[in-house]
Amino acid sequence: MDFSSVPLPSGDFTIGKRFGFEAGHRLPGLPDEHKCSRQHGHSYEVEVIVTAPSLEGPGFVTDFGALGPFKEFLNNELDHRNLHEILPFEPTSERLAQFLAGFFIQNLQPAIPGRLVAVLVRETQGSWARFDVEGQ
């Protein structure tokens, strides 16, 4: 087969990169009888989703290595912390996803090709929250 005859459709390219950190929290805004009002912890997984209309360099949306500062932020600022003690909001997965999107946009996006589409925060294998970035 002549692979040069395969048409390349137009569209956007999207990548995702998953990161992890361990942290505890409680949600004091919940009633005392709700289990999440008590201190507990999660092995959080955070996924960033980045898109671009064209590819850079050898064929990347952005080099996965360029996302290293995001992992450093998670390790240095959130890992093995009580999130309700350091964040200026009640640390639900939804708000954490929005906060991490803001950090990414402010600190990584100016230096990389592509733009952030969404941040997904997973507390457990079966539970996640996603924040979709508007109009970037």
R_g (Cα) of the chain, nearest Å: 18
Contact of 19 with 68, CB cutoff 8 Å: no
- Residue 40 is a catalytic residue: no
CA angle (70 as vertex; 118, 77 as ends), nearest 5: 115
- Residue 123 is a catalytic residue: yes
Strand partners, 59: none
Amino acid at residue number 74: L
> Half-sphere exposure of 30 toward its Cβ, with a 13 Å CA cutoff?
14
Q: Which of 22, 40, 80, 85 is catalytic?
A: 80
- Which are the catalytic amino acids? 36, 80, 123
